[in-house]
Homo-oligomer: A and B are copies of this chain.
Amino acid sequence: MLKINNNYLKLENNYLFAKISEEKNKYIQKSDVSLIDLSIGDVTLPLVNKASEGIIKANNLLSNINTFVGYPPSSGHEFLKEQIIKNDYLNVKAKISKEEIFISDSSKSDISNILDIFSDKLNVAIQNPVYPVYLDSNIMRGNNILYYSSIDSLIYEIENNDDFIIDIVYICSPNNPTGEVVTKKQLEKLISLALKYQFIIFFDAAYEAFIQENNIPHSIYEIKNAKRVAIEFKSYSKTAGFTPIRLSYTIVPKEIKINKDITVNSLFKRLKDTKYNGPSFLSEYAIYNVYTSSAINELKENINYYTENTKILFDFFKSKHLILDENLCVNSPYVWIKTPNNMSSWDYFYYLLDNFMILGTPGIGFGKNGENHFRFTGFGKREDILNAIDRLK
């Protein structure tokens, strides 16, 4: 008889954002007051013109027998890979080749499914707090989790703690939810440690478009030797507002070897070929049209709108003395606050929902260190952000 993967028993009952969504639906059913949702980090501005135009072009191609194309390659079409190299890795010294790019429908899937190519019982370093997918997917795999609270503490642990032996380290920069960014100097240090202690860095650049400060790397491959130790995950969800149409890519350099003969790139290709059939041509063409129309600025306008939203939320919570570290919000589309009166983060969740009809994300959902903290998203509509502040005033 079938048995369960026992690792699943170690998970929380629900995935964080699925639980929030359920609570939201419950609330909407029992009440007809307008709920303001500032919880899930989901974009609200429509697709930019050049993306919509790309979809129409792709649809025309697929509607004509002479231009129809079927299955994409499992790592996506070359026409888009060329644009990614040309646009996203223009200022990166290390050369990214097409065979190192895996275009996918979802960074979330790539960053969790890639674990399949490695043995289980790995030692994995995960920041606390951080995006919960890293933790959950590693629990499902039966890996051993070592937590770190900041990039500096990570570096300290690797250098000084003999028990902190790791196979993989996850870095989310800017960090979701806190907004912490990893500096050039820190990355240089981490890469030298990765070479010395032979671990791999999973670099999640989902929020790189929100970096405002100079000298903060947008890609880990801006740093020397990164291609020898780092895999980079890039989602179009936030940078291009593609949450409904699904697109991302993952860079797996050929330099990373798992032993003398086998590269991580070849294993990931085998995984993709076997378990995946490639991204949608419509979504690929949407961003292809943005790149080739030199319309990256259209995307930047949207980024600026969300950044302004975040600033409005930040200023409000600063006036309430709930901001912990002002520097943290500079490069992030989220505002990370401490809860008033040290309330538990779920208590504050229901307090806001019941009294102000505002939905946010409890900090503890991102890890134990997130307790007594709370995340608001700047991806909401401007009027919702302003209304939420009015209600809270």
Contacts and interface: CB of A to CB of B under 8 A. Distances in A.
Given A108-B275, A198-B2, A68 B44 contact: yes
A274 B136 contact: yes
B45 A68 contact: yes
B244 A280 contact: yes
Given A8-B117, A52-B62, A64-B46, A15 B270 contact: yes
Contacts of A105: 105, 246, 277, 279-280
Nearest to A381: B65
A205 interface: no
Contact of A55 (B47, B133, B282): B282
A94 interface: no
A71 B113 contact: no
Contact of A244 (B65, B71, B199): B71
A interface: dominant SS: loop
A1 B119 CA distance: 11
Interface string A41-77: 0111111010010011001001111001111111000
A106 interface: yes
Interface string A267-279: 1011101111111
A1 B168 CA distance: 9
A62 B44 contact: no
A183 interface: no
Contacts of A56: 56, 59
A43 B62 CA distance: 11
B46 A65 contact: yes
A5 interface: yes
A198 B1 contact: yes
Contacts of A137: 274-275
A40 interface: yes
A307 interface: no
B21 A244 contact: no
Contacts of A6: 119
A77 B19 CA distance: 17
A296 B122 CA distance: 49
Nearest to A112: B275
A2 B168 contact: yes
Given A15-B273, A52-B63, A2 B44 contact: no
A329 interface: no
Contacts of A283: 280, 282
Interface of A: 1-6, 8, 11, 14-15, 17-18, 21, 40, 42-47, 49, 52, 55-56, 59, 62-65, 68-74, 105-106, 108-109, 112-113, 116-120, 122, 133, 136-137, 140, 167-168, 198-200, 237, 243-246, 258-259, 262, 267, 269-271, 273-283, 381
